[in-house]
Amino acid sequence: MNLMRINFTMVLTIIFIVTSYAQNRAVIDIWPDKVPGEPDPKHPAEVDKSIKDTTTIHLTNVTNPNITVFQPKPFKNNGIGIIIAPGGGYYILAIDKEGYEVAEWLTSLGYTAFVLQYRVPKKEQGALQDIQRAIRIVRSKASDFNININTIGVLGFSAGGSLSARLSTLSNKNTYDTIDIIDKMNGSPDFSILIYPAYLDLGPSQSLTPDIKINNNTPPTFIFATADDKHANSALVMTSALRNKDLPVEFHLLPKGGHGYGLRKGNVAAETWPKLLEMWLETHILQKN
C-alpha cells in the first residue's frame, strides 16, 4: 500500500511539473489534421513509468507532436530561435532534462526556444517529419515571436542530436507531402548544435550513417561530447565529415562526463558545454544576426 501511495504521488508530481512548464506558454500542434504515416489517433503523450530514473520526466507514445514556446523577456530578445530536440534513444523523450530546463537557460540568454515533442517510440522517419515541419512552423511565425526568419537553429541531445544532424543535411528536401502554405517555408536549420549525439556512426566500420549526406548547404555546426561516452564516435565521424567538406564546425571532446547529463549540476561536462556553446553562439550566430 505504501509503495502504491508513493508511485501515485510521483505520477502526480510529474503531471504537475509538465503542466507547470506549459502554463502561460504557447503549445503548437505540428500537424493540423492527420499526422503523416501515424496509424494511431492523436492523444496526449504518456509518462513512461517503467524507467527507474525518477529524476527525469520520460515521455513516450507521442502521436500528436507539438512544440512548447519559451520566450525571453522582451528587452532581452536577441531575435534568434532554437528548436530543442530531447534525447531518449527514439523510445522516450527526456522532456525536462533535455528540453524544458535547456529552454529556460536559453531564454535567460535572450534566445527564443521551442521544445519539440517528436514521435516515439521507434518512429525515426516520423520524428524527422516532425522536426522539419516544426522548423517551418517557427519560420512562418517568426514575426509573432520577434525572431529573424533566417536565424533559426536546432539543438539536439543524443537521439535528438541524430535527428538534428539528419535535418541539417537534408538541403530542404521534403520528408512528407505538402499539406498547406507553411510547407513552402525553408525546412532546414540555419545552424545546428549536437550535444552528445548518437547514431551518427552506423555506416561500415562505424563510419558516418549512410543516410546523412553532408553537402554545401549543411549549416554551421557545434558538437560536444566526452571520450567516455559509448556514443562518442558519432561526434567524431560527424566532425570529420564536416571538416572534410571544409564546412564550419566547432568540436569539443572532454575526457569524462558520460552521456545524458543535460544541464544537471555535479557533472563537469554538463557545466562545460553551456559555456562553450554560449561563446560559439555569440561569435558565430549572434554577431551575424
State the CATH number of the domain containing residue 64.
Answer: 3.40.50.1820
* Average pLDDT along the chain: 93
pLDDT attached to residue 240: 98
Rounded Cα distance, 109 and 97, in Å:
18
Give the number of other Cβ atoms within 10 Å of residue 233's Cβ: 15
Examine the pLDDT at 5 and tell me if it is beyond 60: no
**Tens digits of residue pLDDT in 206-239:** 999 999 999 999 999 999 999 999 999 999 999 9
Rounded Cα distance, 27 and 105, in Å:
19
C-beta of residue 190 within 8 angstroms of C-beta of residue 164: no
Q: Which residues are CB-contacts of 26 (< 8 A; sequence separation ≥ 6)?
A: 68, 69
Identify the DSSP state of 233: H
pLDDT attached to residue 53: 82
How is residue 271 written as a grid cell? 557545466
Examine the pLDDT at 1 and tell me if it is beyond 80: no
**Residue 99 phi, psi (nearest 5):** -140, -85
Examine the pLDDT at 289 and tell me if it is beyond 80: no
**Tens digits of residue pLDDT in 87-136:** 999 999 999 999 999 999 999 999 999 999 999 999 999 999 999 999 99
β-pair partners for 67: 28, 116
Question: Residue 27 sits in which domain range?
Answer: 2-288
pTM: predicted TM-score of the whole model, two decimal places: 0.92
Strands 192-195, 152-157: pairing kind = parallel
C-beta of residue 215 within 8 angstroms of C-beta of residue 221: no
Give the amino acid at 199. Answer: Y
If one counts the domains in the chain, the total is 1
